[in-house]
Copies of this chain bind each other. A is one copy, B any other.
Amino acid sequence: MTTPKTTLPPPVARAPLSEEELDRLDAWWRAANYLSVGQIYLLDNPLLKEPLALEHIKPRLLGHWGTTPGLNLIYAHLNRVIKARALNAMYVTGPGHGGPGLVACAYLDGTYSEVYPDIGRDADGLRRLFRQFSFPGGIPSHVAPETPGSIHEGGELGYSLMHAYGAAFDNPDLLVACVIGDGEAETGPLAASWHSNKFLDPVHDGAVLPILHLNGYKIANPTVLARIPEEELMSLLRGYGHEPYLVSGSDPAQVHQQFAAVLDEVLENISDIQDQARGGTATDRPRWPLIVLRTPKGWTGPAEVDGLPTENTWRSHQVPLAGLRENPQHLRQLEEWLRSYRPEELFDADGALVPELAQLAPAGARRMSANPVTNGGTVLEPLRLPDVRDYAVDVLSPGTTVHEATRVLGTWLRDVIRNNPRTFRLMGPDETASNRLSAVFEATDRVWEAQMLPTDEGLGRSGRVMEVLSEHLCQGWLEGYLLTGRHGLFSCYEAFIHIVDSMVNQHAKWLKVAGEIPWRRPIASLNYLLTSHVWRQDHNGFSHQDPGFIDHLVNKKAEIVRVYLPPDANTLLSVADHCLRSRDYINLIVAGKQPALSYLSVDEAALHCRRGVGIWEWAGNEASTSPGTAPSAGNQPGSAPVLPDVVMACAGDIPTLETLAAVDLLRQHLPQLSVRVVNVVDLMRLQPASQHPHGLPEAEFDAIFTTSRPVVFAYHGYPSLIHRLTYRRSNHGNFHVRGFQEEGTTTTPFDVVMLNDLDRFHLVIDVIDRVPGLAEAAAPLRQRMVEERLRARAYTRAHGEDDPRISNWRWPYAPASSSALSAERDN
């Protein structure tokens, strides 16, 4: 079998730029390069009005030159076509290390001085612009929230193309130019992103123009895509469904002409695709164009340093000329380099960009650095949310009726989608139906631009649900969508959300820093719904059992992170409603999809969620027992407040179920024992108020958890997290936490719970072991609990399913009043 030759794109011979246009465009590029080098090196003497001296040089040289000239070239050329075609465009910088380039371009087009008035368009402004870069108290070395026009940090590589697609969704007039570094292209997330074009609707979405920058080198190595034959690369890009255009060279004039010609052609091509799709004359998936730009790394920088080739090698990656203090030759070389851009032609005597160059940039919001969508909060509109009361389930008596919480949520989400047909998307790695949110398909489709067959269901060219078997893509698309001023929810199996740990780190950092920048406006929160959670992956086994994402999130800045563990359907509705209204947070909701007991009516749920943590008086027996008559005897007669013998706390649906079943056993067998039940919905309530904005004040915490009684805490995740959140609380020494102990396999649901000692029987044992003085009186019950565990295990192994006496348990007590929650603690 022989390999057919794929054809290289024919070289573009046209030279669309007039000589004057070429000169000006090149001058703008030189100006951007000059400002980039200046930022990396200069403290002062920004216009080189005097010979460069050591005192003008920064003591620490930090920044990445290698990728910068390419980024600047693309920016300059995009400016040209934006003006010529009145485009609405933005720029995503995959090689985010090239921060000085994007800052330079934003300065040249005037945006920078508008958002940072102290960086004026004069010599002093230039001096400040240079000095602040990578300087204490200044700006970061990478593209960052501080950079106008950016929605992309790029310190961690791999997410540019997914961010670009996220920005383009539902922005039909937008062109997102996305520069992809050839280093970044080696990452998994970027490699997956190429197939995003199977999810972009040419009718309702904007266009993404990927520009693969073959810069040739990483920190110390060549890049893979720069070192495969060009035919192989073109075959790859066509295999991704693109029409590749190649621009290659090191002579600026030639590259300018080629790039300009290709850009014109590509934009025509995009216009045609959109016209045909929107006019209804094309329904097939288009082959979107893509540009490959192969230029030298560190282009226009020092060709050689100390006799070693530097331009066009990895030695240009960061700072090509270092050690200037020790090496006067390097200082001279730097001056030559800077002067090679002929700054005297670019800036006037006062340091302002000369007018014929300044006019090359588009005006106002047409500037890529000033495009409003890149400061998403400025275009954000609140969602029109249906009233959750209309979707709630009836709960006449707690713990007696069964619902699938996510299925209920799905009906509300369906109408969220109906009410907000262009500003809300639901992401999921092939799990929307599996996570039982299927009601949304009554209102919308899964987006699918690839081939469709008659047997397919719920697929459409446009739709609100995005499913692809890549958590990275779901996360990255959603980030791009949120950062450009829209809303969304990502539903995911709990164990596999760890796949995006690193991405959520970076988004949390973005939110933290953006929150400190006055001109950045708040954006919609990043909302996760983790269902198919650790306690109900018994059928999928150990690989699907991991509740650690909560721990991961809690390390982020407290201002950013919210964690909710709604115990039933109505609380899930209430929490979801709250999260979709919030701004600038990362909201994590963990909730079950399996049939589970409901405890609270919708009003009770709303109240409980507002409190975040509450005593479930209907579940405990404090009112009907005489605390202190139990052997713990902790209450002195007449002393106040009267305390229970034990607090049974729970967070999460399964822990709540097991806790209530344990309370039932205690109430049956130790009726004198005074038990308080506390349910935690908002995990951050546990932290001290000094540590988290949601933290309960000490007095409230103590009123709920007591300062002296044992607390048996059944928790959804790893027990250590509860200790970590509560170790400063006065009663922490009495906290005894059960949760996931990393014991799992394929078995029954209750068996997984037992493997981790979170089951009702073990919780009863824990109470007996913790409440002082109970050991003797409760010894028979304790023994019985041990036997119940053995019996349950034996039943499971014999029958392959849980004992129905366990799985069909219901709360057997009628509530004292019509409300399952007393309102007294609501304030």
- A residues touching B (Cβ–Cβ < 8 Å)? 1, 3-4, 6-7, 9-10, 43, 58-60, 62, 134-142, 144, 153-158, 183-184, 186-195, 198, 218-224, 227-229, 232-241, 243, 245, 265, 287, 309, 313, 430-434, 446, 448, 450-453, 455-456, 459, 467-473, 495-496, 498-499, 501-502, 505-506, 509, 512-513, 539-544, 546, 548, 551-552, 554-557, 718, 720, 723-724, 727, 732, 742, 745-748, 751, 793, 796-797, 799-801
A67 to B: closest C-beta gap in Å? 13
Whether A239 touches B238, Cβ cut-off 8 Å, given contacts A218-B469, A446-B221, is yes
A219 in complex: contacting residue of B6, B184, B433, B793, CB < 8 Å: B433
Return the contact of A1 from the options B219, B245, B742 (Cβ within 8 A): B245
From B136, B186, B245, B742, give the contact of A470 (CB < 8 A): B186
Contacts of A509 in B (CB 8 A): 542-543
Task: Decide if B142 touches A540 in the complex (CB within 8 Å).
Answer: yes
Contact present for B472 and A187 (CB under 8 Å): yes
A272 smallest CB distance to B (angstroms): 12
> A240 and B245: CB pair below 8 A?
no
Cβ-defined contact, A238 with B232, below 8 A: yes
Instruction: Please tell me if the beta carbons of B751 and A136 are within 8 angstroms of each other in the complex.
Output: yes
A12 to B515 Cα, complex, angstroms: 61
In the complex, A186→B469 CA distance in Å? 5
Which chain B positions have C-beta within 8 A of A227? 198, 448, 450-452
Residue contact B9 to A469, C-beta cutoff 8 Å: no
Q: Distance in Å from the Cβ of A101 to the closest Cβ of chain B?
A: 16
Tell me whether A543 and B155 are in contact in the complex, defined as CB-CB below 8 angstroms, given that A241-B228, A552-B501 are known contacts. yes
A723 touches B718 (CB 8 A): no
Chain B residue at minimum C-beta to C-beta distance from A59: B801
Per the bound structure, the CA–CA distance linking A62 and B347 in Å amounts to 72
Residues of chain B with a CB closer than 8 A to A546's CB: 505
Q: Which of A309, A469, A745 has the most chain B CB atoms inside 10 A of its CB?
A: A469
User: A64's closest neighbor in chain B, by CB?
Assistant: B540
Assess whether A136 is in contact with B191, with CB atoms less than 8 Å apart: no
The smallest beta-carbon distance between A413 and chain B, in angstroms, is 16
Which residue of A459, A470, A495 has the most chain B CB atoms within 10 A of its CB atom? A470
Tell whether A555 pairs with B9 under 8 Å between CB atoms, given A198-B224, A542-B513: no
Contact of A134 among B189, B192, B501, B746 (CB under 8 A): B746
Per the bound structure, the CA–CA distance linking A119 and B287 in Å amounts to: 54
Taking A222-B448, A498-B502, A732-B727 as contacts, is the C-beta distance between A140 and B542 under 8 angstroms?
yes
Q: Is the CB of A555 within 8 A of B544?
A: no
> Bound complex: CA of A139 vs CA of B473, how far in Å?
33
Q: Which residues of B contact A136 (CB under 8 A)?
A: 747-748, 751, 793, 796-797, 800
Given A135-B800, A236-B239, A498-B502, A1-B9 contact (CB < 8 Å): yes
A430–B539 CB distance below 8 A? no
Given contacts A222-B450, A469-B183, contact A3 B501 (CB under 8 A): no
A233 neighbours in B (Cβ, 8 Å): 239
Chain B residues within 8 Å of A58, by CB: 800
Known: A313-B455, A470-B186, A505-B546. A3 touches B498 (CB 8 A): no
Give complex CA distance A499, B134 in Å.
Answer: 25
When chains A and B are docked, how far (Å) is the Cα of A232 from the Cα of B194? 13
B144 and A797 form a contact (CB under 8 A): no
Q: How far is the CB of A57 from chain B (nearest CB, A)?
A: 10
CB distance from A426 to the nearest CB of B (A): 14
Complex CA distance for A229 and B287, rounded to whole angstroms: 12
Give Cα A131–Cα B113 distance, bound, in whole angstroms. 72
B430 near A218 (CB under 8 angstroms)?
yes
Contact of B141 with A495 in the complex, beta carbons under 8 Å: no
A430 touches B183 (CB 8 A): yes
A459 / chain B contacts, CB cutoff of 8 Å: 221-222
Given A141-B539, A746-B134, A801-B60: A188 touches B472 (CB 8 Å cut-off): yes
Q: Flag if B541 contacts A742 (CB, 8 Å).
A: no
**Residue contact B742 to A3, C-beta cutoff 8 Å:** no
Task: Using CB atoms, name the residue of chain B closest to A723.
Answer: B727
Q: Is the CB of B1 within 8 A of A243?
A: yes
Bound Cα distance from A509 to B534, whole angstroms:
14
A1-B9, A140-B542, A184-B469 given; A505·B512 CB < 8 A: no
A512 to B543, CA, bound (A): 11
Q: List 21 A-B contacts (CB under 8 A).
A: A1-B10, A4-B7, A135-B746, A135-B800, A136-B751, A136-B793, A137-B796, A144-B542, A156-B499, A186-B195, A186-B470, A187-B192, A187-B471, A220-B432, A227-B448, A233-B239, A235-B238, A496-B502, A513-B745, A555-B720, A723-B724
Contacts of A499 in B (CB 8 A): 156, 501-502
